[in-house]
Structure formats: structure tokens, C-alpha cells
Amino acid sequence: MSPARWPSRVPLFAYRAVNARGRVLRGRLEARDLTDVTRALRAAGLHPLGLVSVPPAREGGMRRLARRRRVPLRELEHLCLHLERALDAGVPLLEALADARSVTVNAALAAVLDALAQDVGRGHALSEALARQEARLDPVMAPLIRAGEESGHLTQAFQTLGAHLAWRDDLKRRLGKAVRYPLLVLSVLAGVLFFLTGAVLPDLSTFLAGLGDGPPVQTRALLATSQAMGQLGPWIALGFALAGLGLTVGRRLSPEIAYRIDALLLHLPLIGPLIRRLALARFAHGVALLFQAGVALPQCLAIGRGVLGNRCLAEALDTAAAAVSAGHPLSEALRLSGQFPPLVWRMVRVGEDGGDLAGALEHVGRYHDRDATESSERLVALSEPLLLLVAGGLMAWIVWAVLLPVYDALSGVSL
């Protein structure tokens, strides 16, 4: 049964309070009145200095939108580090949350911390409060913290969670760095092409058309391309934009469309294998982390579904989870799903036979992490010379079609 949501009409109060060490903290709490806010702050060991009611219309539309977004992985990593150190030093949880809220500049994280402080102040466990914010957080956060609460090792749970978030953020940054240069070159190339065909060549078309007996074939082809780009270019760009918007909306509204798009992505040359490796790395790393923390395997698989990022692989994992619930080993369940490579379920089988399933899954995650990084680097290494060849070919075509006819015409003029 999902936890009940607190009514959105509960008043919101901004507070300024001082802790036992004399540090001034700022934050927000939802409560019925100022008395409830004061009582909650004093229960957390804070002495209120100032309380202000925050009206619902105080935030602008852009600010509200920013607060609803997912929290960046780097911000979550810093939060885990802060809470780990605070709890290890004996700071009460609510005070640690208020301290983190007072220094954060990220609107989405600030909204999450406000909600966490509100729920924890009302007596709810931190894992339950995190579960209510699951849409804006990493999927493994709530179950991993719940395991830490049940085992009495909450500080260690934050340390493990911080390492996991750091790994995910590092993987994301490495892949972003790998594709940034090709995208930049492609953007510059497209901009130069549109500028030449849309602005420069139309001004030269009259001059080139009057050369001698008429422009040569390559010049006529270039002028025809320029004219087509000028007439059809905006419509082509609009068509691509509408198609992208339609696919994005359809993917969100229709599970069937999302499944077909994700299945198509997995079968694209070069891109598909990279998407699969990234998804498997995230899945194996997350499930290994949860299983090692004591979370039951069926629940690990249900949570691992959220980190795959691909509907086709997620439905295959649902099939595997059903097989595990029916009593099959995980390796056999992954094999029967049809979407996990033989290397994955063979490594898992070795871990099952040796009694170290978490270690086997961690090995799968490291392998696909390294494989995805190497694949992205190979893709970049292949795309760079290809883009240079395309750019060089376009420049050579323009020189051949424009400058050479002009040179031939001028060389035939007698002085």
C-alpha cells in the first residue's frame, strides 16, 4: 500500500534557528501553525530565531518547475557525504537535514530536503520520507537507507550510497565528454552549410549563371541544392522538430510506443550495443549494492527496473523477476528473458554456485562499465575522421563549383 500524501494546503513556514553549537540554520517546514513549527524545531534540538509564513504564490513558475525536476547525481552525492559526516559526529537527523538545506543552492534538492524535514519531523523514518520523493531521486536511495535503518548502520549506508552515486555521475560525465566533441563539430558543420547555401550562394547565383555558356554541371548542382535548402530547409527542420516532439510525448503517454522506440534503439548500429552496455552496467551495479545490503532479490530486481532506462529491457527484467519469484535461479531467469547477453547470466551463475551473487553482479557492472566507456571512445574515434571527411568534401565541392568556374571565366578575359 502506497503511503498517503500530505495535503498540499498545509501552510508552509520558513524558519531560522540556532543549534546547540551556535550555528544558524535556515529551512522550511509544513505545519498547521507557528506553534507546531516551534514544537518540531525544539524537538530537533533547535532554538527558533524567526518564523515566517510562506504564501503559495511566492514562487514563480520557473522556480516551481526547477523544484519538481530530478536532483542531479552530484548534488545527491554531496548530500550523502554531508549526512554521513553529520550522523557520524552525533548530529540529530533533522538538524543534519536542516543544515544541508541551509547551504544548498539547487532548487530541486532544496524542495526534497524541505519534504524530508517535514516527514522526519512528524515521526516518519527517513527511508519512508525518501520513498515519497522517489520520482526525483535515485531509485536505490530509499531501499538502501531502509536496509541501513534496519541493521543499525545508517552511516555506512550513506557511505555506500555516496560511492554508488559518485560512480553513476562519473560514468555519465565520461560519456558526455566522449560525445561532446563530435556533436560540436557536427553543429559547426551544419551551421556553416546552412550559412553558405542560404546566404552566400544565393547572392552568387546570378553571377555564376552568367558565366560564358552557362555554369558547369557541378555549379548547377550546387545552386540547385542551395535553392532547395532555402525553400525546404525550414520545413525540414520543422518536420524533425515535430517528429521529435511527437515521439517524446508518445513515449511518455503510451507504454506501447515507449516499448517500440526503446526496442528500436537497442537495434541501431553502433548506438544500440552502447545503450545496452550502459543499462546493464547501471542494473548490475545497483542490484549488487542492494543485495549486499540485505534487500531481498525480488525487490532488488523491481528496483533495478528503474535504473535500466529502457522499456524493452525493463519488461525483460519483469519476466526474469517473475521467474525468480517462481523459484528459478537468477541466472536461469535472465537467460529465459532473452534480452541479457550470455556473458551476464553466465557470470551470475558462477556467483550463485560460489555463494557470492553480489560479487558476481558487481563484476558484471564493472565489466560493462569499462566496455561502455571503450565503445564510446571507439565511436568517437570513428566519427571524428568521418566528420572531417564530410566537411572536407563539402568544402571541396564548393571550391570546385564556385571558384574554378570564376577562375576559368577570368582567365579568358583579355586585358
Query: Long-range contact list for 259-268, CB < 8 A, 24+ apart?
Result: 259/311, 259/312, 259/315, 261/311, 262/310, 262/311, 262/312, 262/313, 263/311, 263/312, 265/310, 266/310, 266/312, 266/313
d(CA 21, CA 5): 34
SS3 7: coil
- pTM, rounded to two decimals: 0.69
For the domain bounded by 139-415, which CATH number is listed?
1.20.81.30
At residue 68, the pLDDT reads 64
Specify the length of the chain in residues.
Answer: 415
At residue 145, the pLDDT reads 92
Mean pLDDT of each 10-residue bin along the chain, 415 residues long: 42 79 76 80 79 63 58 91 90 87 86 88 88 88 89 88 89 79 79 74 69 70 77 81 86 84 86 87 88 87 85 88 88 87 90 89 88 82 81 81 74 55
At residue 6, the pLDDT reads 37
- Spell out the SS3 assignment of 179-231: HHHHHHHHHHHHHHHHHHHHHHHHHHHHHHHCCCCCCCHHHHHHHHHHHHHHH
Domain extent listing, the chain: 12-137, 139-415
The strand ranges marked E within 199-309 are: none
Task: Give the largest Cα separation in the chain, rounded.
Answer: 99
